[in-house]
Structure 1
Amino acid sequence: MITQPPSAAALRPPGLEAEPFGDSALMLRIADNDAEARRTGARRLRDILLNVRPYGMLNLVAGAESLLVEFDCLSVSHGQLAQTIRLAVANLGLDDTGGGAGAREFILPMVVSAEFSPDLPVVAEELGLSQDATLAALTSSVLTINLLAAAMAPMMAGVNFPGQVSRCAEPRTDVAPGSVMVAGTSAIIQPFPGPSGWKVIGRTPLTICDIHENPPTSYQPGDRVRFEVIAESRWTELKGQFLRPAHQQEGGRHGSDA
């Protein structure tokens, strides 16, 4: 028997908006007017579903403020899956728990120089800060990876900037790998050479994505990231090392010695 997918209104658990996305997916969003609450809730929702593993769920695709749940439409319907998610949320709650089970911390060393930080003066001026204060705002922040963007680039929210950073008026066509970039109050790292409209304020000597590693990245959505400015003289020492969680880094912290 062929039935029409239920309406979005019929699939709306408390605190959530659930909308059918084709025949075999649900788009979930947190019903809140605050952007940070939506981002935090989406991360928490991902953790809940990875823990509960609802019947029929096949895959999760994380967005900055949303979560796409792909499922086997021969095993479960939109409405049935939405009801399961509603029960899981009611039982476990959407309040941020400071990172899901298994969330890890990463320390990203970055070098700041005229070559590696072409947009730092512009970003500082836009924020009404000195360049040192702009970097201090970044390095004092604990960022959370919201999603993996193109080429497995970690998109992170939570930079303690006093305002929003605009994107470049003309995107660059070739940004070097390892470039640390900002836009709004978010940051992202360029894994491979390619175009970007985000503003470049530093570069890490570490390799953050390596197809020869299994898996090719050691981070995932929900992990925490902190940046440390290091001296340019340490570039050769760290260049090409694969990014690993802080507790696995040789000698622990890289050391903020710029």
Structure 2
Amino acid sequence: MSTYPASGQQLSPLWDIAGITAVPFGDSALMVSVASGTIEERQAGSRKLREILLDVRPYGLLDVVAGVDSVLVEFDCLAVGHGQLAQTIRLAAAGGGPQDSGHARTGKHFVIPMVVNENFAPDLADVAEELGISTEAVLGHLEASELNINLLASAMAPMMGRVEFPGQVSRCKEPRTNVDPGSVMVAGTNAIIQPFPGPTGWKVIGRTPLVICDIHENPPTSYTPGDTVRFKVVPESEWERLDGQFLRTDSYTTGGEH
């Protein structure tokens, strides 16, 4: 089965804000993206399209994998072809705009506490130097940014954008082979939280004491794409009180109360 994208096919406009483009990706997938608008509009359009497809479940659909501003639509190539599925997506999108749905999902908002010290934030000074600002200013920009969860990356890590940094943050020259769970990391103008121990090339600037993914919970994460996040730098004295708590919308308020 081939894994390379083939020639693209243009679809009709998605609602009233932009068009969508479907590009065959190998024998059994379509890469579907919102073709125009701001990055926020493209990301919101892709999230909405994913919700529509998972709700409608077109014949032959196997999975819809979220990207930053696109979705990979996987299908059974013995049941349906690229063109037929693209037409179904076009019709589903045309009939699934916010004005017609009547049940648009309202995103949840999370305040995530993070502790910053020498052990938890090994790359903070490097990020500050790269951006030409102080470490306090780096954290100030992070706290002031309302981040949107664009997709769930590997191990259900929430990939969020955009941090209002005055520039782009590069990745580590040498990726780390192991980063502790709860590590808050940045690259470009995006942020992500490490759910489980593992490697990363992102720069670590803090750590949350909360558990953001727990396979014993149902569902294992309380967040989904489209939810919003604010980080709150808290003193180390808060770590013991919050350590091991599962992240929920009421896990930590700005005032530190439950």
Query: One fold, TM greater than 0.5?
Result: yes
Distance in 1 of aligned mates of 2:246 and 2:80: 41
Residue number in structure 2 paired with 1:153: 157
Q: 1:230–1:255: 8 Å Cα contact kept in structure 2?
A: no
Q: TM-score, normalised by structure 2?
A: 0.84
| Cα distance change on mapping 1:44 and 1:162 into 2, 3 Å | farther
Distance in 2 of aligned mates of 1:185 and 1:48: 28
| Cα distance change on mapping 1:93 and 1:129 into 2, 3 Å | farther
Q: What's the CA shift for 1:56?
A: 3.8
Residue number in structure 2 paired with 1:107: 111
Distance in 2 of aligned mates of 1:131 and 1:228: 15
For residue 67 of structure 1, give the secondary structure of its aligned residue in structure 2.
strand
Amino acid of the structure 1 residue aligned with 2:12 = P
Q: What's the CA shift for 1:18?
A: 0.5
Q: What's the CA shift for 1:255?
A: 3.1
Residue number in structure 2 paired with 1:12: 11
Of residues 145-154 and 44-53 in structure 1, the stretch that sits farther from structure 2 once superposed is 44-53
Amino acid of the structure 2 residue aligned with 1:144 = N
Q: What's the CA shift for 1:130?
A: 1.6
Distance in 2 of aligned mates of 1:147 and 1:119: 24
Q: TM-score, normalised by structure 1?
A: 0.84
1:82 aligns with 2:81: no
Query: 1:60-118, CA deviations, whole angstroms, 9 ceiling, x for partnerless residues?
Result: 100122201123445443222212222333345599xxxx5142112111001111111
Number of equivalenced pairs: 244
Distance in 1 of aligned mates of 2:131 and 2:217: 38
Q: What's the CA shift for 1:32?
A: 3.3
5+ unaligned residues in a row in structure 1: which ranges?
A: 1-6
Q: Which runs of 4+ in 1 moved over 6 A?
A: none
Distance in 1 of aligned mates of 2:9 and 2:46: 20
Q: What's the CA shift for 1:126?
A: 1.2
Amino acid of the structure 2 residue aligned with 1:204 = T
Q: What's the CA shift for 1:214?
A: 1.8
Q: What's the CA shift for 1:43?
A: 2.2
Amino acid of the structure 2 residue aligned with 1:12 = L
Q: How does 1:117-132 map to 2 (within 5 A)?
A: 117-132=121-136
Residue number in structure 2 paired with 1:166: 170
Distance in 2 of aligned mates of 1:170 and 1:256: 36
| Cα distance change on mapping 1:235 and 1:10 into 2, 3 Å | closer
Identity across the alignment (%): 64
Q: What's the CA shift for 1:210?
A: 1.3
| Cα distance change on mapping 1:10 and 1:210 into 2, 3 Å | closer
Q: What's the CA shift for 1:36?
A: 4.6
Of residues 143-152 and 100-109 in structure 1, the stretch that sits farther from structure 2 once superposed is 100-109
Residue number in structure 1 paired with 2:64: 60
Of residues 134-143 and 44-53 in structure 1, the stretch that sits farther from structure 2 once superposed is 44-53
Distance in 2 of aligned mates of 1:64 and 1:195: 21
1:39 aligns with 2:38: no
Distance in 2 of aligned mates of 1:39 and 1:85: 17
| Cα distance change on mapping 1:74 and 1:102 into 2, 3 Å | farther
5+ unaligned residues in a row in structure 2: which ranges?
A: 1-5, 14-18
Q: What's the CA shift for 1:221?
A: 1.6
Of residues 105-114 and 37-46 in structure 1, the stretch that sits farther from structure 2 once superposed is 37-46
1:71 aligns with 2:70: no
